[in-house]
């Protein structure tokens, strides 16, 4: 009954195609059209941005050095059990690989790779490679141990075996201040070598501090802008937008000029006799400098979302609370602030996400104590050239940022964000 | 926000102290930017006000740092590079970004949230990670140290701003206008150019300005991707601040502040214009 009814009632287009099918077809066409508009940009972003970033993160686990430059040792060690010293064939493979590596001038890569895991390995590998060239016939085991007694150390061989895989976790382990000891167990690094956990901690704490100061400073300003008549608030808005549009380097420079020991602020304090010439304050090139400059730079990112939320709150709510007998402070705390929570959330997450990955400002005004994790990544990229570790640190930073970003997206939604 | 006449003593004092607090915060925001302007005219190579400057003695002021700036071949080249890179990347970012925003704002767009987060990602990923990633990637395809590499890198960074601003403009777009135009006999192309584009243009322009300033002010990626031939103004400043700040930097900073004031004014004019236009459109 039902089927026959639907057959009778089925509507068709002029060509006799059921309307439903026709609608679906045109919907699909629209979908494809919409997607085609997005496709060029999507392709561009994936190729020029997503692939490089993923590639960079993968460097934190990639481990090509031993694997590709010492293929024979890698193969020979695969069947080694790791209890006693390896057999003669493995030593022969070692000599062969060292000779090859020296000929191809890439043995240094293995040397520095292994040196990250165990200091002294650079000397062991490079030195042995130099001397191994002269070896012509076996037995190699004795000769190699004579060249460098490290080759008689089971721990060295386990290290090479451990790092002979295509992938390694040792950078990631190292990025959270752990290491693999000679027995192959993961243990905490000695206290004086633990730097990254403290640095991640400092980055998080400083980002929290900056976010909190931004809330405190942005709230009164946003409230003022939202409650003033439009003509006045537009004028004052310029004072917020001008810093927002001013070059980051200009804003950082200006804080150096203001805060340095021979700078404007110290001069004013000396002139007002608050401090004497000898007591000039060290306000920059330390943590204070980083916090002050970054707060200044990120403050507009807090003011703007707060302002856009506050503008939508009708003033009648506050008046209603007051006329119902609430004291102004109570009315403000219990009625007004709860309505601005979404703005506080949006601004805080934005400021926090931006400050956690900040590089330029801490590098210029942070001195030693004001450096953040990004600066350490830059150091490993440019100075120590330990790109694997840079990749691992970057990966951890990326994961932290992504967690906060997904919270931001869930709570606020990136498409709701407004700028300017 | 004006204080009522019946306000008590406590309310009055709170009102005024609130105003003072706000004034101090505004001073914190704007003061540091304004203070470098007079300092850039200092005749001495110091970063503080000399007694001559404070007594408004003309001898305390000079244009020597500006002369130094305009006479320096390095700085002049960096200006050229900065404008070239910023304009090229703005053009690419704006055209691709606007197209994508048109697609994203269609109601039938599948996976919108996912696509949006991919397109926005250059704004979220910490710059140092983007920079390091681009350095490896562009080196592997021989684009590191070329203008093309730097332009592509800056384009990627500018795209999120274009996508966000244009999508925001389109989300307020009244599609019945296009339907009305179509019903009145306009073909799709006419609808796009005569109806849609004029209403979307303010969003596109402000997106373009964001993309421009993003590239114009970008340092981190430039440090890694640009070669000595591509030194931009921010790179030149970065080097200058790290080694030994010369007052020439303050002259450059002043000029950059003037550029941002110009951009801001331009943006404000566009905003007002579009508000007027929207006010005329039937709501």
CATH homologous superfamily for A196-416? MetI-like (1.10.3720.10)
CA angle, residues B116, B120, B90, in degrees to nearest 5: 115
Chain B touched by A263 (CB under 8 Å): yes
A31, A45, A331: best to mutate for the B interface, most B CBs within 10 A: A45
Using the beta-carbon criterion (under 8 Å), do A357 and B106 form an inter-chain contact?
Answer: no
Query: Would you give per-residue pLDDT tens digits along chain A (420 residues)?
Result: 444 444 556 677 777 778 888 888 888 888 888 888 889 999 999 999 999 999 988 888 888 888 888 888 888 888 888 788 888 888 888 888 888 888 888 888 888 888 888 888 888 888 888 888 888 777 888 888 888 888 888 888 888 888 888 888 888 888 888 888 777 788 888 888 888 988 999 999 999 999 999 999 999 999 999 988 888 888 898 889 899 888 889 999 899 888 888 888 888 888 888 888 787 888 888 888 899 999 999 999 999 889 988 988 888 888 888 889 888 888 888 888 888 888 898 889 889 989 998 999 999 888 888 888 999 999 999 888 888 899 999 999 999 999 988 887 777 765 555 554
> Who among A227, A254, A415 is closest to B253 (CB)?
A254
CA distance B217 to B224: 15
Cis peptide before A360 (omega within 30 of 0): no
CB B125 to CB A253 under 8 A?
Answer: no
Superfamily of domain B80-280: MetI-like (1.10.3720.10)
Whether residue B34 lies within 8 A of chain A, CB to CB, comes out as: no
Rounded to 5 degrees, φ, ψ at B47 are: -105, 35
End-to-end CA distance of chain A: 62
Instruction: Inspect the interface and report whether the beta carbons of B133 and A52 lie closer than 8 Å.
Output: yes
Domain limits of chain B?
Answer: 80-280
Specify which residues A62 forms β-bridges with.
A167
Query: Alpha-carbon distance A279 to B100, whole Å?
Result: 58
Gap from B242 CA to chain A (nearest CA, Å):
7
A299 in reach of chain B (CB within 8 A): yes
A328 contact residues in B (CB cutoff 8 A): 11
Domain boundaries, chain A: 2-58, 64-168, 196-416
- pLDDT for A10 equals 67
In angstroms, what separates the C-alpha of A374 from chain B's closest C-alpha? 6
B115:A296 CB<8 A: no
Per DSSP, the residues of A280-348 read ----SSSHHHHHHHHHHHHHHHHHHHHHHHHTTS-THHHHHHHHTT--HHHHIIIIIHHHTHHHHHHHH
How many beta carbons lie within 10 A of that of residue A304, not counting itself?
25
Query: Is B217 in Cβ contact with A248 (below 8 Å)?
Result: yes
Is B38 in CB contact (< 8 Å) with chain A? no
Q: Decide if B36 touches A, using CB distance below 8 A.
A: yes
Residue window 19-58, chain A: list those with CB within 8 Å of chain B: 27, 30-31, 33-38, 40-42, 44-46, 48-57
| Local structure of residue B195 (DSSP, 8 states) | I
Cβ <8 Å between B109 and A254:
no
Name residues whose C-beta falls within 8 Å of residue A256's C-beta, 6 or more positions apart in sequence: A263, A284, A364, A365, B47, B241, B245
Q: Is the CB of residue A276 less than 8 Å away from at least one CB of chain B?
A: no
Q: What is the mean pLDDT of chain A?
A: 85
What is the model's pLDDT at position B186?
A: 87
Nearest-5° Cα angle at B219, B250 to A239? 55
Q: Given this model, what pLDDT does residue A418 score?
A: 52
Residue numbers in A near B156 (CB within 8 A): 44-45, 48-49
- Flag whether residue B8 sits within 8 Å of chain A, measured between CB atoms: no
Residue of A nearest to B242 (CA): A364
> Does A61 reach chain B within 8 Å, measured CB to CB?
no
CB within 8 Å of chain A, chain B residues 230-259: 234, 237-238, 241-242, 245, 249-250, 253, 256-257
Mutation for testing the B interface, residue in A34, A36, A41 having most B CBs under 10 Å: A41
pLDDT in tens, B147-172: 999 999 999 999 998 998 888 888 77
A313: contact with B, CB 8 A cutoff:
no
Residue A78: per-residue pLDDT: 84
Q: Are B219 and B234 in contact (CB under 8 A)?
A: yes
How many Cβ pairs within 8 Å bridge chains A and B?
Answer: 271
Any CB–CB contact under 8 A between B79 and chain A? no
Q: Give the list of residues 6+ apart from residue B215 with CB closer than 8 angstroms, or none.
A: B85, B86, B89, B90, B154, B155, B157, B158
- Chain A residue at shortest CA distance from B219: A360
CB contact under 8 A, A262 and B47: yes
- Give the mutation candidate from B34, B97, B103, B135 for the A interface (greatest A CB count, under 10 A): B103
Regarding beta strands A178-180 and A186-188, do their DSSP bridges make them parallel or antiparallel, or are they unpaired? Answer: antiparallel
- pLDDT tens-digit readout, B184-204: 988 888 888 888 888 888 888
**DSSP reduced 3-state for A167:** strand
Average pLDDT over residues B13-23: 91
Give tens-digit pLDDT for B94-146: 999 998 988 888 777 778 888 888 898 898 899 999 999 999 999 999 888 88
A221 touches chain B (CB under 8 A): yes
Please give, rounded to a whole number of angstroms, the shortest distance from the CA of B184 to a CA of chain A: 22
Residues of B in contact with A398 (CB under 8 A): 125-126, 129
CB-based contact A227 B263, cutoff 8 Å = no
Task: Name the phi and psi angles at B42, rounded to 5.
Answer: -65, 135
| Residue A17: count of CB within 10 angstroms of its CB | 12
In this complex, do B25 and A42 lie within 8 Å of one another by their Cβ atoms? Answer: no
Q: What is the pTM of this model?
A: 0.86
Nearest to B136 among A35, A49, A56 (CB): A56
* Chain B contact set for A364 (CB, 8 A): 238, 241-242
Put simply, the chain A residues between 350 and 389 with a CB less than 8 A from any chain B CB are 353, 356-360, 363-364, 374, 377-378, 381, 387
């Amino acid at each position: 009954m039902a089927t026959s009814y639907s057959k009778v009632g089925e509507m068709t287009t002029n060509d006799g195609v059921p309307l439903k099918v026709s609608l679906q077809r045109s919907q699909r066409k629209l979908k494809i059209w919409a997607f085609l508009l997005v496709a060029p940009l999507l392709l561009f972003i994936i190729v020029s941005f997503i692939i490089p970033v993923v590639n960079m993160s993968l460097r934190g686990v990639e481990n090509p050095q031993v694997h590709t430059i010492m293929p024979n040792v890698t193969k020979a060690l695969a069947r080694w059990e790791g209890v006693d010293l390896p057999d003669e064939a493995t030593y022969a493979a070692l000599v062969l690989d060292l000779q090859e590596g020296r000929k191809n001038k890439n043995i240094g890569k293995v040397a520095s790779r292994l040196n990250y895991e165990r200091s002294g390995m650079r000397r062991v590998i490079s030195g042995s490679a130099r001397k191994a060239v002269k070896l012509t016939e076996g037995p190699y085991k004795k000769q190699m141990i004579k060249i460098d007694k490290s080759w008689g150390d089971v721990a060295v061989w386990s290290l090479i075996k451990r790092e002979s895989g295509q992938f390694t976790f040792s950078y990631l382990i190292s990025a959270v201040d752990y290491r693999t000891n000679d027995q192959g167990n993961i243990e905490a690094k000695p206290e004086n070598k633990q730097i990254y956990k403290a640095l991640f901690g400092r980055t998080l704490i400083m980002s929290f501090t900056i976010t909190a100061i931004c809330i405190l400073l942005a709230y009164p300003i946003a409230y003022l802008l939202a409650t003033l008549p439009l003509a006045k608030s537009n004028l004052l808005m310029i004072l917020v937008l001008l810093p927002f549009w001013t070059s980051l380097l200009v804003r950082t420079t200006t804080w150096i000029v203001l805060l340095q020991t021979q700078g404007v602020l110290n001069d004013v304090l000396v002139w007002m006799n608050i401090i004497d010439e000898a007591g000039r304050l060290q306000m920059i090139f330390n943590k204070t400098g980083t916090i002050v400059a970054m707060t200044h730079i990120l403050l507009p990112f807090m003011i703007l979302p707060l302002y856009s939320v506050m503008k939508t709150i009708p003033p009648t709510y506050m008046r209603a609370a007051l006329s119902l007998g609430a004291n102004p402070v109570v009315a403000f705390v219990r009625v007004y602030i709860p309505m601005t929570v979404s703005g506080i959330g949006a601004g805080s997450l934005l400021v926090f996400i931006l400050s956690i990955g900040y590089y330029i400002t801490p590098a210029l005004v942070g001195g030693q104590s004001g450096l953040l994790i990004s600066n350490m990544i830059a150091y490993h990229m440019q100075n120590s050239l330990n790109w694997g570790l840079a990749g691992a640190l970057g990966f951890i930073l990326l994961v932290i940022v992504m967690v906060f970003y997904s919270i931001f997206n869930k709570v606020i939604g990136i498409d709701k964000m407004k700028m300017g | 926000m004006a204080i009522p006449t019946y306000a008590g003593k406590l309310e009055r004092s709170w009102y005024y102290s609130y105003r003072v607090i706000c004034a101090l915060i505004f001073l914190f925001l704007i003061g540091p930017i304004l203070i470098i302007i007079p300092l850039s005219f200092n005749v001495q190579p110091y970063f503080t006000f000399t007694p001559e400057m404070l007594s408004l003695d003309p001898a305390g002021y000079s244009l020597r740092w500006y002369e130094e700036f305009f006479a320096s071949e390095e700085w002049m080249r960096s200006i050229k590079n900065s404008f070239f890179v910023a304009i090229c990347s703005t053009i690419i970012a704006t055209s691709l970004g606007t197209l994508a925003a048109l697609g994203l704002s269609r109601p039938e767009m599948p996976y919108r949230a996912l696509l949006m987060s991919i397109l926005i990602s250059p704004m979220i990923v910490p710059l140092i990670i983007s920079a390091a990633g681009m350095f490896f990637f562009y080196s592997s395809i021989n684009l590191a140290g070329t203008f093309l590499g730097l332009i592509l890198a800056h384009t990627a960074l500018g795209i999120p701003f274009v996508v966000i601003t244009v999508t925001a403009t389109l989300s307020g777009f009244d599609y019945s206008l296009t339907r009305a135009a179509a019903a009145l006999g306009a073909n799709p192309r006419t609808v796009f150019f005569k109806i849609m584009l004029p209403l979307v243009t303010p969003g596109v322009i402000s997106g373009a300005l964001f993309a421009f300033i993003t590239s114009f002010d970008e340092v981190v990626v430039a440090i890694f991707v640009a070669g000595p031939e591509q030194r931009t103004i921010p790179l030149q400043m970065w080097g200058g601040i790290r080694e030994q700040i010369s007052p020439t930097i303050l002259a450059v900073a002043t000029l950059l502040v003037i550029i941002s004031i110009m951009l801001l004014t331009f943006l404000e004019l566009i905003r007002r214009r579009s508000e007027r236009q929207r006010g005329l459109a039937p709501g």
